[in-house]
Structure 1
Amino acid sequence: MILQAITLKSYPVELSLTAWICLLGTVEGTVVALVAEKGNPSAWALNWDMKLLAAVYSGIFCSGLAYYIQGIVMKDRGPVFVTAFSPLCMVIVAVMSSIILAEQMFLGRILGAIVIVAGLYLVVWGKSKDYESSSPPAEEQTIPVKQTTVA
C-alpha cells in the first residue's frame, strides 16, 4: 500500500496503475502455477464451468475493482485509511462462512472480530481527526476579491 501511494503521486492514473498491478500479479501467479503444476498439463485446461466463472469474477471484482477503488481512496485519504480496512475482510469472511457454510462460531472468533472492528474504527477515527487538523478552519479560508477602481 505504501508503494502504491508513492506511485500514485508520480503516476496519478488509477485505472492504468490497476491494470499494471493486475498484469504483474498474473505474471507472478503464472510462474508459481507453472512450478507447482509441473508435468500436469490437464491443470491448464479451460472448461465452461464454475471454476472459470470463479476465476473471471475474482479477477474482475476482487482484484481489478478493489485495486481501482483503493487507488482512488488512497489518493484522497492516504495509505493508512486504506490499510485500516484490510482486517475487516477477515471479519466478513468469518460471518459469511458461518451463514453460507454453516461453520460454528467460537468465542475466540467473535472476540477477535470485536477487537478487529474496534481497532479499525479507532484508526479511522484518529485518521479523520488528523485529516481535519491538516485543513485550515473555515474562517481562515478566504476568497480573493479582485478590486477595481472607478475612474
Structure 2
Amino acid sequence: MARPRDFQKKRVYLAEWEVRVQDFRSLAETLEWADRVIRSEWWRRNVGREVRFVPPHGNRRKRATCWLGRICLPNQSWAFSRLVVLHELAHIVAGSWARHGERFTGAMLMLVEEFMGRGWMLRLKRAYDRNGVKYGIV
C-alpha cells in the first residue's frame, strides 16, 4: 500500500522558514537544548516517548531526519535552531503516519508554545495561515 501524499510539506517548510532564526552557534549547543526538552518534566508527562539524537552519516549529512524515535540533525548552520529541533520532535509526537498534516502541525504549535513561548507560537500560526497550512489539535 502506497503512503498518502504529504500534501502540505512544502507549505509547512515555507512557513517555518519565515519565522526560523539561528538560535545556536553549533550542533553541540543545539543538541544541549534539545536534550533539555526531551528530559523536561513536560515531555515526560505529555509525550513520554524516549528520543535519541544520533550523529549524521551517509545521506543524512545535509538534512534533518526522524525515524523510530531517533533524530538526526546535520552539522549545518540552518539546523542550529529551536524550530528545527521542535519540527523533528513534532514528528515523534504526531507519529510518522501524520507526515506534515494537521496532526503534525498541531503538535508543532503545541511544542513551540511550550518550549519557545506563546509569542513564537502565534508567529508560527500566522505564518501557517499565510502559507495555507492546515493545523489541528493533538
What TM-score do you get using the length of structure 1 for normalisation?
Answer: 0.24
The structure number with the bigger radius of gyration is 1
More strand by share: 2
What TM-score do you get using the length of structure 2 for normalisation?
Answer: 0.25
More helix by share: 1
